[in-house]
Amino acid sequence: MDKNLTLRYQEFESAGSMDPADCELVQKAVEASSLSYAPYSKFNVGAAVRMSDGRVFTGANQENAAFPSGTCAERTVLFYAHAHAQGASIVSIAISACQGGVQVSQPVSPCGACRQVMTEFGTNDNPMSVIIVGSERILKFDNANDLMPFSFDSF
Protein backbone atom coordinates (compact mmCIF):
# COMPACT_ATOMS: atom_id res chain seq x y z
CA MET A 1 0.00 0.00 0.00
CA ASP A 2 1.41 3.41 -0.95
CA LYS A 3 1.28 6.13 1.69
CA ASN A 4 2.13 9.82 1.48
CA LEU A 5 3.45 12.39 3.93
CA THR A 6 2.65 16.06 3.52
CA LEU A 7 4.52 18.90 5.18
CA ARG A 8 2.75 22.13 6.09
CA TYR A 9 4.82 25.22 6.80
CA GLN A 10 4.58 28.99 6.60
CA GLU A 11 6.81 31.37 4.65
CA PHE A 12 7.43 34.99 5.68
CA GLU A 13 9.24 37.77 3.81
CA SER A 14 10.75 39.10 7.02
CA ALA A 15 10.56 38.80 10.81
CA GLY A 16 8.38 41.92 10.93
CA SER A 17 5.49 40.00 9.42
CA MET A 18 5.62 37.29 12.11
CA ASP A 19 3.88 37.47 15.47
CA PRO A 20 5.83 39.54 18.04
CA ALA A 21 7.14 36.56 20.04
CA ASP A 22 8.47 34.87 16.89
CA CYS A 23 9.90 38.16 15.63
CA GLU A 24 11.81 38.59 18.90
CA LEU A 25 13.11 35.01 18.74
CA VAL A 26 14.37 35.55 15.20
CA GLN A 27 16.21 38.69 16.31
CA LYS A 28 17.79 36.76 19.21
CA ALA A 29 18.92 34.00 16.84
CA VAL A 30 20.46 36.56 14.49
CA GLU A 31 22.30 38.19 17.42
CA ALA A 32 23.41 34.78 18.72
CA SER A 33 25.45 34.10 15.59
CA SER A 34 28.04 36.45 17.14
CA LEU A 35 28.53 33.79 19.87
CA SER A 36 29.69 31.27 17.27
CA TYR A 37 33.16 29.74 17.41
CA ALA A 38 33.66 28.59 13.82
CA PRO A 39 37.31 29.11 12.82
CA TYR A 40 37.19 26.06 10.52
CA SER A 41 33.95 26.41 8.57
CA LYS A 42 33.62 30.19 9.03
CA PHE A 43 29.88 29.54 9.06
CA ASN A 44 28.49 31.30 12.12
CA VAL A 45 25.18 29.87 13.25
CA GLY A 46 23.03 31.29 16.04
CA ALA A 47 19.98 29.75 17.65
CA ALA A 48 17.45 30.96 20.20
CA VAL A 49 14.80 29.00 22.08
CA ARG A 50 11.71 30.17 23.89
CA MET A 51 10.54 28.25 26.96
CA SER A 52 6.91 27.78 27.98
CA ASP A 53 7.58 30.07 30.98
CA GLY A 54 8.77 32.85 28.64
CA ARG A 55 12.52 32.51 29.15
CA VAL A 56 14.71 32.78 26.06
CA PHE A 57 18.10 31.08 25.76
CA THR A 58 20.63 31.52 22.98
CA GLY A 59 23.56 29.50 21.67
CA ALA A 60 25.82 29.13 18.68
CA ASN A 61 27.90 26.50 16.90
CA GLN A 62 31.13 25.62 18.68
CA GLU A 63 33.78 23.93 16.56
CA ASN A 64 36.93 22.03 17.44
CA ALA A 65 40.16 21.08 15.67
CA ALA A 66 38.95 17.47 15.99
CA PHE A 67 36.04 18.22 13.66
CA PRO A 68 33.38 15.78 14.92
CA SER A 69 33.80 17.15 18.44
CA GLY A 70 32.11 20.40 17.49
CA THR A 71 28.42 21.08 18.05
CA CYS A 72 25.76 22.82 16.00
CA ALA A 73 24.05 25.94 17.32
CA GLU A 74 20.77 24.07 17.71
CA ARG A 75 22.14 21.35 19.96
CA THR A 76 24.23 23.85 21.93
CA VAL A 77 21.14 25.77 22.96
CA LEU A 78 18.70 22.83 23.12
CA PHE A 79 20.83 20.86 25.59
CA TYR A 80 21.45 23.97 27.68
CA ALA A 81 17.75 24.88 27.71
CA HIS A 82 16.72 21.34 28.58
CA ALA A 83 19.24 21.24 31.43
CA HIS A 84 17.80 24.47 32.83
CA ALA A 85 14.14 23.80 31.98
CA GLN A 86 12.93 23.68 35.62
CA GLY A 87 9.71 22.00 34.47
CA ALA A 88 9.16 24.27 31.47
CA SER A 89 9.04 22.93 27.91
CA ILE A 90 10.80 24.28 24.85
CA VAL A 91 8.12 25.86 22.66
CA SER A 92 10.12 27.30 19.80
CA ILE A 93 13.59 27.45 18.25
CA ALA A 94 14.85 29.98 15.70
CA ILE A 95 18.03 29.45 13.69
CA SER A 96 20.07 31.98 11.70
CA ALA A 97 23.57 32.12 10.20
CA CYS A 98 26.21 34.54 8.95
CA GLN A 99 29.06 34.06 6.52
CA GLY A 100 31.78 36.69 6.33
CA GLY A 101 29.73 38.89 8.63
CA VAL A 102 26.71 38.82 6.32
CA GLN A 103 23.46 37.04 7.13
CA VAL A 104 22.87 34.15 4.71
CA SER A 105 20.07 34.78 2.25
CA GLN A 106 18.37 31.37 2.46
CA PRO A 107 17.02 29.74 5.63
CA VAL A 108 19.49 27.51 7.51
CA SER A 109 18.10 24.01 7.60
CA PRO A 110 18.99 21.94 10.68
CA CYS A 111 21.06 18.79 10.22
CA GLY A 112 19.61 15.35 10.93
CA ALA A 113 21.30 15.04 14.33
CA CYS A 114 19.73 18.31 15.50
CA ARG A 115 16.33 17.26 14.15
CA GLN A 116 16.59 14.03 16.13
CA VAL A 117 17.28 16.01 19.31
CA MET A 118 14.38 18.36 18.57
CA THR A 119 11.95 15.46 18.29
CA GLU A 120 12.82 14.37 21.82
CA PHE A 121 12.40 17.81 23.40
CA GLY A 122 9.26 18.81 21.51
CA THR A 123 6.45 16.30 22.00
CA ASN A 124 3.10 16.00 20.31
CA ASP A 125 1.50 17.30 23.53
CA ASN A 126 4.00 20.18 23.72
CA PRO A 127 5.15 20.72 20.14
CA MET A 128 8.27 22.76 19.44
CA SER A 129 8.04 25.08 16.47
CA VAL A 130 11.10 25.55 14.27
CA ILE A 131 11.84 28.87 12.57
CA ILE A 132 14.63 28.87 10.02
CA VAL A 133 15.88 32.26 8.96
CA GLY A 134 17.41 33.75 5.84
CA SER A 135 17.58 37.41 4.88
CA GLU A 136 15.31 36.75 1.88
CA ARG A 137 12.75 34.51 3.57
CA ILE A 138 11.87 32.82 6.83
CA LEU A 139 10.14 29.46 7.17
CA LYS A 140 8.15 28.30 10.19
CA PHE A 141 7.28 24.67 10.97
CA ASP A 142 4.78 24.22 13.79
CA ASN A 143 6.12 20.87 14.97
CA ALA A 144 9.77 19.77 14.92
CA ASN A 145 8.54 16.18 14.51
CA ASP A 146 7.42 17.09 11.00
CA LEU A 147 11.08 17.68 10.08
CA MET A 148 12.15 14.23 11.23
CA PRO A 149 9.52 11.67 10.25
CA PHE A 150 10.20 8.18 11.60
CA SER A 151 12.75 9.52 14.07
CA PHE A 152 14.51 7.07 16.36
CA ASP A 153 12.44 6.46 19.49
CA SER A 154 12.79 2.95 20.79
CA PHE A 155 13.66 3.15 24.47
104 torsion bin: left (phi>0), alpha (psi -120 to 50), beta (else): beta
| Single-letter residue type at 66 | A
Identify which of residues 14 and 41 has a Cβ nearer to ligand THU in the complex.
41
Least CB distance from residue 66 to ligand THU, whole Å? 13
Site of interaction with ligand THU (CB under 6 A): 38, 41, 43, 45, 61, 63, 70, 72-74, 95, 108, 110-111, 114
Least CB distance from residue 11 to ligand THU, whole Å? 18
Identify which of residues 88 and 143 has a Cβ nearer to ligand THU in the complex.
143
Least CB distance from residue 77 to ligand THU, whole Å? 10
Q: Where are the beta strands (DSSP E) in the chain?
A: 10-12, 43-51, 56-60, 90-99, 102-103, 129-133, 138-141
Q: Which residues are catalytic?
A: 74
Residue 96's beta-bridge partner residues?
46
Identify which of residues 9 and 88 has a Cβ nearer to ligand THU in the complex.
9
